[in-house]
Copies of this chain bind each other. A is one copy, B any other.
Amino acid sequence: MRESAQVLAEVPTQLSPQELIGTLVEQGMLTDPASPRGRLLNAAARLFEQRGFARTTVRDLAAEVGILSGSIFHHFASKEQILCAVMKEVTIFASARMRSAAESAGCPQEKLRACIQSELEAIHEQAVPGFSILVMEWRSLSEESQEEVLQLREEYERIWLDAIVAAKCPGDDPALVRRLLVGALSHTYSWFEPRDRGLTIPELADRTFRIFTP
What residues make up the interface of A, taking CB atoms closer than 8 Å to B?
Answer: 51-52, 54-55, 135-136, 138-140, 169-171, 173, 176-177, 179-188, 190-191, 207-208, 210-212, 214
A183-B184, A184-B183 given as contacts; is B139 within 8 A of A211 (CB)?
no
- Assess A177 versus B138: contact at CB under 8 Å? Given A186-B183, A187-B186: no
Please measure, in the bound complex, the distance between the C-alpha atom of A181 and the C-alpha atom of B163, giving whole angstroms.
21
A135 to B177, CA, bound (A): 20
Chain B residues in 8 Å Cβ range of A214: 214
**CB-based nearest B residue for A53:** B54
Q: Give the distance to chain B from A144, nearest Cβ to Cβ, in Å.
A: 17
Contact status A179-B170, CB under 8 Å: no
This chain's copy number in the assembly: 4
Bound-state Cα–Cα, A191 to B181, Å: 13
Residues of B within 8 A of A183 (CB): 183-188, 190
Q: In the complex, what distance in Å separates the CA atom of A30 from the CA atom of B79?
A: 38
Min CB distance A132 to B, Å, is: 11
Contact between A211 and B54, CB atoms less than 8 A apart: no
Q: Which residue of B lies closest to A204 (CB)?
A: B176
Contact B139 A210 (CB under 8 A): no
CB proximity of A156 to chain B, nearest CB, Å: 16
* Residues in chain B near residue A187, CB distance under 8 A: 135, 179-180, 182-184, 186-187
The answer to whether A207 touches B171, judged by C-beta atoms less than 8 angstroms apart, is yes
Between-chain CB contacts (< 8 Å), 24 pairs: A51-B139, A52-B140, A54-B54, A55-B139, A55-B140, A135-B187, A135-B190, A136-B136, A173-B207, A176-B207, A176-B208, A176-B211, A177-B211, A179-B184, A179-B188, A180-B184, A180-B208, A182-B187, A183-B183, A183-B190, A186-B187, A187-B187, A211-B212, A214-B214
Checking B55, B170, B191, B208 against A210 with a beta-carbon cut-off of 8 angstroms, the contacting residue is B170
